[in-house]
Chain A
């Protein structure tokens, strides 16, 4: 069976943090723990800014991997 992946297209990611709060909401994740976050590189640099949603990658058997 195929292994499910969480794919993020940096051409589409606008750092809306929807993935972050959806995870918080669905899993009732407590304050201070974030299983997902959005990383923005070259923030504010014209033509070079990109955002990508990443998992924390701390679980050995991650529910959202």
Chain B
């Protein structure tokens, strides 16, 4: 059984788009069904391969935004200006279209209940996507592992999953903080600057709680946040990172 599962993960298989969900002006989720999907852990990603009529191929990786659910998986794609793949996924694909996918991939940047907590999620831009899979898994299983979530976005319209997060805050006792780095609406009561040590000290689990931290986003963001966490006393071994490139990964 394990061998069949490995084979299924190694090979390219077909995913069919069954639904689109607009998350923000530049971000769209694709709900994909893949018959025979072997399941996945929160934090894992898939590779997508597109093939042009002349045979040209491009591959990209996208984090799975949702916890395991039969043959379904959702990826959340940010439109990259002048990108090659994201404009196609967001603007050209239609419901019913098929794409090649491979996975799930990832053995380190994953969370499951056995890893315990408390858990600190810190995401920059679309780096919140794999963190949402972790948070959604925790909510769905009714786990009582304490979670805190800090996200950084450029402006209010770029914040993702707002309604859902508000619901999680009120029902599940998860502390959610958003910081806006370029502009914020009048009356904004949250932080309005890049994540720094003072913000981590104010909103993240304190070091003596020994949280398991997951930091995801562009390379510069991840390294700045990880460095800040260590500088305020968090253990490097309890910080897991995933860097996204400018083209989504």
Q: Are both chains from one complex?
A: no
